Amino acid sequence: MKTIEDIRKSLESTYMEHEIEEKLPLIQEINRLKKEKNAVLLGHNYMTPDVFHGVSDILGDSLYLSKAAAETDADIILFNGVHFMAETAKLMSPEKKVLIADLKAGCSLAESITREDVKKLKSQYPGVPVVTYVNCTAEVKAETDICCTSANAVQIVNSLDSDTVIFLPDEYLAGNVQKQTDKKIISFPGRCMVHEMYTAEDILSVRRQWPGVTVISHPECNTDVVEVSDFAGSTSQMSKYIRDSGAKDVFLVTECSMGDNLRSEFPDRQFVSSCRTCPHMKRITLEKIKDALLYEQFEIKLDPEIVEKGRMAVQRMLEVSYK
């Protein structure tokens, strides 16, 4: 576990000294409660730095976090992220108590599609396999043949024995996958409210202001944004690219806190930020995390049928990805 000095150092790149001092008592209380409750806290890359560096035990993207949590001996999993992520953790660890600090921490992309929408598409295209991005509800996963992440979407699509694939729910990710596969992609009009705000002109404007800047975008952005970027990948792939490429000036075309959290990992790099934030992610605060642990409140509960079917879709993806 990190020491207080480790935490303080991690927060210095984004907070003033007095802000850190105000946050430390609450961080210490949460870390005490973790031990008392035998809880593990998962921190998504889009959490604010106090949550990400201060109290989260396992850090990364949503699927990695759920997979890692399933391998711990914790009695309680508290997911510092949004609702669909906590549901995925429940699918992977149905025997554990899974909590989220705010049940209203939703996701525009996950909420863009329902289980009934998927059933309707399956009836329109009988026999066509359904690939669903993990950024969806457990009910949608339950109607899915196989899940994917932004990192392995092309691999998953190409693994299927079909010339046509239904790809849900992100139409921008579907468009970016279509450019990398010969299969026909049937998409759905779902979008992330953060990533859909970026345009190709945003990228070109940044390039004019910072000549030589390295532009890294998320594949939830439109294809024209990805095309004018130097690299596009998942949040975990972004970190790896920064580390391996040696890029000094970086423009991250994704949720603002991603750059905030990377500043302490890469203190020698300059991060250019557009500060596009997700209001749902920002509902998760230290105060709410403390209460969730203290009272063991806001538990994720799923129907056993949903757990069985949804987990199967995720497991199929893992089997393909880790062959």
134 carries a ligand binding annotation? yes
Say which DSSP state 71 is in. T
Q: Which residue has the tokens 């046509």?
A: 164
256 carries a ligand binding annotation? no
72 carries a ligand binding annotation? no
Dihedral angle of Cα 21, 3, 282, 12, to the nearest 10 degrees: 50
192 carries a ligand binding annotation? yes
CB 307 within 8 A of CB 94: yes
285 carries a ligand binding annotation? no
133 carries a ligand binding annotation? yes
Contacts (Cβ under 8 Å, ≥6 apart) of 29:
290
Longest distance between any two alpha carbons in the chain, whole Å: 60
Q: What is the secondary structure of 257-304 as a DSSP string?
A: HHHHHHHTT-TTSEEE------TTGGG--HHHHHHHHHHT-SB----H
Q: What is the secondary structure of 25-46 as a DSSP string?
A: HHHHHHHHHHHHHTEEEEEETT
Helices and strands in the chain: count of H runs, count of E runs: 15, 12
CA dist., res. 145 & res. 126, Å (int) = 13
136 carries a ligand binding annotation? no
275 carries a ligand binding annotation? no
Angle value at C-alpha 195, between 312 and 41, nearest 5 degrees: 55
Ramachandran category for residue 129: left, alpha or beta (phi over 0 → left; psi -120 to 50 → alpha): beta
131 carries a ligand binding annotation? no
18 carries a ligand binding annotation? no
Angle value at C-alpha 231, between 230 and 235, nearest 5 degrees: 145
CB 286 within 8 A of CB 26: yes
User: How far does CA 193 lie from the centroid of its chain?
Assistant: 14
CB 83 within 8 A of CB 110: yes
64 carries a ligand binding annotation? no
- ω into 267 cis (within 30 of 0): no
135 carries a ligand binding annotation? yes
172 carries a ligand binding annotation? no
Binding site residue list for iminosuccinate:
44, 62, 133-135, 150, 218-220, 235
Tell me the binding residues: 44, 62, 107, 133-135, 150, 192, 218-220, 235, 278
Would you list which residues are annotated within the binding site for [4Fe-4S] cluster?
107, 192, 278
